Amino acid sequence: MHVFLDRASDTNAHFLPVSHWAETHADETLNPRDAALRACDKVHLHRLVTHAGLQTPYTLTLPPYATHPDLQPLDLQLLGSYFILKPAHGGGSQGVILNACTLDDIQRARQAFPADAYLLQTTITPAELGKQPAWFRVLYCCGAIFLCWWHPKTHVYLRVSAEEVKSYHLQSLYPITASLASICRLDLFSTEIALTAEHSFVVVDYVNDPIDLRLKSLAVDGVPDEIVRQITEALALRAANQAESNIEDQLTVKYFE
């Protein structure tokens, strides 16, 4: 096997043996399991992202309820009138509370997932650009970066055009995403980045893996078909390059023999 990408074991443990087998039998594993496990811990990733100098919402982290049921004193005023609660693990908005405002809200959320740490984050209000919120879902695949408008309420994708990148000064989305790639060490992921009225790019949801690749032509909130096609082409090219590299290595060995 030249290249392996696991897009199943996170929701179906029956695929875990395949993933473990590929670790030692595939020539290359994309989104290797150890990196994927690190990236799915939002508390750990928050530390890495802020250490790298990327801007994030103001964040407080709390230990699991199971080990620390009693809250230490918290200054909730720093989070604003309403704030967001996120468990450190999980995807698809599972366990996320968007309009928390009290200590009781925090404790109820922690008790819902008692083994998990939590993040408390300020709510980010995006700027308006061209009558739409400046909220972006950016997809990364093997060095290629794809920018999309992504409505935080409807979750509808629209590809950001080259003209929009230039006219709205969105070029910073590229190095921010590249920095996230170096932090998480994943080959395929997405991230959410908002642009505020003060023209600050804030990384709201650091790394999503695995990513949703439903086609926009088949689902209202799917990824634009052209981007999915380009992602599959990038993955196929990665596999082809790996196969070619293997052939060259074999020829070199035979030559020196």
> Cα angle vertex 165, ends 159, 171, to 5°?
115
pLDDT exceeding 70 applies to what percent of the chain? 94
pLDDT exceeding 90 applies to what percent of the chain? 73
Helix axes 42-51, 173-184, angle to 10 degrees: 120
Average pLDDT over residues 6-26: 85
**Distant-in-sequence, close-in-space partners of 16: CB < 8 Å, separation ≥ 6:** 9
Prediction pTM value: 0.89
Helix locations, the chain, DSSP H: 16-25, 33-39, 42-51, 103-112, 162-167, 173-184, 225-256
Residue 248 has pLDDT above 80, yes or no: no
In this prediction, residue 1 has a pLDDT band, given cuts at 50, 70 and 90, of: low
Domains of the chain: residue spans and CATH: 58-122 (3.30.1490.20), 125-234 (3.30.470)
**Distant-in-sequence, close-in-space partners of 158: CB < 8 Å, separation ≥ 6:** 132, 148, 149, 150, 224
Average pLDDT, the chain: 91
Q: Which two tokens stand for residue 244?
A: 């070619």
Average pLDDT over residues 87-92: 84
CA distance 146 to 162: 11
Length of the chain: 257
Average pLDDT over residues 103-121: 95
CA distance 18 to 21: 5
Any bridge partners for residue 194, and if so which?
135, 202
Residue 97's pLDDT is what? 93
CA distance 173 to 169: 9
- For residue range 59-79, list pLDDT tens digits in order: 999 999 999 999 888 889 999
Among residues 43, 31, 35, 33, the alpha carbon closest in space to that of 89 is found at: 43
Any bridge partners for residue 39, and if so which?
none
DSSP letter for 77, please: G
| Cβ atoms 190, 200 nearer than 8 A | no
